[in-house]
Amino acid sequence: MNIHLHNVISDITGVTGLKIINSILSGNHNPKKLAELKNNKIKASKKTIIKSLTGHYREEHLFTLRQSLESYQFCHQQIYDCDKEIEKRLKDFESKTTIDQENSDSLPTLGPKQRKAGNSPLFDLQGHMYRIFGTDLTRVDGISVVTAQTLFSEIGSNLDKFPTVKHFCSWLGLSPQNKISGGRILSSRTKKTSNKAAQAFRLSALSLSHSKSYLGDFYRKIKSRSGAPKAITATAHKLARIFYKIVKEKLDL
């Protein structure tokens, strides 16, 4: 169609983009009228948008566009249904805190809401994680609400199966496996593992690369001395120890 809307609007699946696409499919092919659907948050001028919407609205292209939009809407409906089912299942888990969801005055003061990514859940996952763990893990720098959900799905909210934090970190594969001969440490590499909980801790560690917190400083210090791979492992190990202590001792941050 020779339309370059994606060059002037960063997200064509946003409010403005979908309005314009739906208007095109309903028969409006006038670039000037389409540009009037622009949201105030769009930085591009109307003149630029008009230029990007000047193209060839041929029937075969409109047919393809309609099918693409319907596929997009179907996928998002599936995601919505999946989120509703996850929320339904989370409600079945035992609460470690008493929360009256209908009484706003009784709700706990949770950490700041993190910026939503494109794949963020469509329900209050942070509240559910607080209720299940008994503490707000998102107050720990680097641990997002999605990370907390991943850890819950892989480990659960009860860490009694791990007698000590050393057992926990060893199971994750984040503890160094020292190979000693003649009193000398020959190797201290961590074991290779496909543990999804360990992967979650590693991703959290990587997200701290620009953090101004203590954990961010720790990551950068190890990175400058030993490189990024070892910094990620060391910071993930520290995050795992923090997670274990908070959940095990039910600390309210």
Q: Which of 69-73, 93-97, 109-113 has the lowest mean pLDDT?
A: 109-113
pLDDT computed for residue 175 by the predictor: 80
Based on the fold, state whether residues 217 and 159 are members of the same structural domain. Answer: yes
Based on the fold, state whether residues 80 and 47 are members of the same structural domain. Answer: yes
Model confidence at 186: pLDDT above 70: no
pLDDT computed for residue 100 by the predictor: 54
pLDDT computed for residue 105 by the predictor: 47
Based on the fold, state whether residues 241 and 161 are members of the same structural domain. Answer: yes
Residue 76: pLDDT band with limits 50, 70, 90: very high
Based on the fold, state whether residues 33 and 113 are members of the same structural domain. Answer: no
Based on the fold, state whether residues 81 and 132 are members of the same structural domain. Answer: no
Based on the fold, state whether residues 131 and 221 are members of the same structural domain. Answer: yes
pLDDT computed for residue 137 by the predictor: 92
Based on the fold, state whether residues 121 and 22 are members of the same structural domain. Answer: no
What is the average pLDDT across 13-32? Answer: 92
What is the average pLDDT across 45-72? Answer: 93
In the three-class reduction of DSSP (H, G, I as helix; E, B as strand; rest coil), residue 187 is classed as: strand
> Which residues contact residue 118 at a Cβ distance below 8 angstroms, ignoring those fewer than 6 apart?
none
> Which residues contact residue 247 at a Cβ distance below 8 angstroms, ignoring those fewer than 6 apart?
133, 134, 135, 137, 157, 159
Q: Which of 90, 119, 149 corresponds to the end of one domain? A: 90
Q: Which of 61, 90, 119 corresponds to the end of one domain? A: 90
pLDDT computed for residue 117 by the predictor: 61
Residue 219 domain flag:
yes
Residue 162: pLDDT band with limits 50, 70, 90: very high
Total domain count for the chain? 2
pLDDT in tens, 103-132: 444 445 555 555 566 667 888 888 899 999
Residue 98 domain flag:
no
Helix (H) or strand (E) holding 60: helix 59-90
Residue 156 domain flag:
yes
DSSP E strands in the chain: the ranges are 179-181, 184-187
Range of the domain at 84: 5-90
Q: Which residue has the higher pLDDT, 252 or 146?
A: 146
Based on the fold, state whether residues 76 and 108 are members of the same structural domain. Answer: no
Based on the fold, state whether residues 77 and 151 are members of the same structural domain. Answer: no
Residue 95 domain flag:
no
Model confidence at 46: pLDDT above 80: yes
Residue 13 domain flag:
yes
Mean predicted lDDT score pLDDT of the chain? 86
Beta partners for residue 180, in sequence order:
185
Diameter of the chain measured on Cα atoms = 82
What's the CA gap between 17 and 2, in Å, rounded?
16
Q: Which residue has the higher pLDDT, 252 or 34?
A: 34
Residue 214 domain flag:
yes
pLDDT computed for residue 69 by the predictor: 95
% pLDDT > 90, the chain: 57
Residue 97 domain flag:
no
Model confidence at 178: pLDDT above 60: no
Based on the fold, state whether residues 130 and 50 are members of the same structural domain. Answer: no
Q: Which of 90, 120, 135 corresponds to the end of one domain? A: 90
What is the average pLDDT across 236-246? Answer: 94
Residue 96 domain flag:
no
Q: How far is CA 124 from CA 25, 140, 142, 149, in A?
A: 34, 18, 19, 12
Based on the fold, state whether residues 144 and 27 are members of the same structural domain. Answer: no
DSSP E strands in 133-201: the ranges are 179-181, 184-187
What is the average pLDDT across 2-6? Answer: 89
Model confidence at 181: pLDDT above 60: no
Model confidence at 101: pLDDT above 70: no
CB 25 within 8 A of CB 44: no
Based on the fold, state whether residues 203 and 138 are members of the same structural domain. Answer: yes
pTM attached to this predicted model: 0.74
